[in-house]
Structure 1
Amino acid sequence: MNLKGLDIYFELESKDVLVDFLLSKGYDDFYFFPCSRYSAGALLINAQEQVSARREYGLFRLFLHADAAQTLADDIKSSLKNKSIKIFVRECEEL
């Protein structure tokens, strides 16, 4: 079975929008991890972020067949293009 791990990183404020999007597309088995993005001051919005050099992000991780992973990534990019979302895919194998 050719599985892909799809990691979707997003600004935490977009979490509910992404959950609704995933559920509406029939994806109901995924994982959520809170995380932080560390970056240059120009990418940070408020004073707290600029002092700490980090912004609160989230990560959804899904395990899908290769074609489904590409389709979902394309759907997210086209439907939610006004959101700050980064998508990464990698090979994986269930043990």
Structure 2
Amino acid sequence: MAMCSTLINRSLRGGLVVVGGLNLGGSLELIHNAIDVVELAVEKGANLVLMPVTARKQLVDLSDEMATKVNVLFYSDVREAFVKAITD
């Protein structure tokens, strides 16, 4: 994300954590503990978490307190994640 934003001379959003990886075949890796990831991100000062849409169902059990502290945006591919990560 950082390299791509530098190439197009656009900044990434502040307080952002991007979660997920890209496999060699081009598919997104699954996140196994999405709630733990979000809680850790908030603990480290993040207010926005980008994660694959496949982790959406795991966040049903996210506490109300945690849900008020962070915005979670979902992406279905790397391009969409990058578009959501750059500042407006």
TM-score past 0.5 threshold: no
Report which of the two has the higher share of helix: 2
Q: Of the two, which has the highest radius of gyration?
A: 1
TM-score by length of 1: 0.30
TM-score by length of 2: 0.32
Report which of the two has the higher share of strand: 1
Higher relative contact order (CA closer than 8 Å, sequence separation 6+): 1
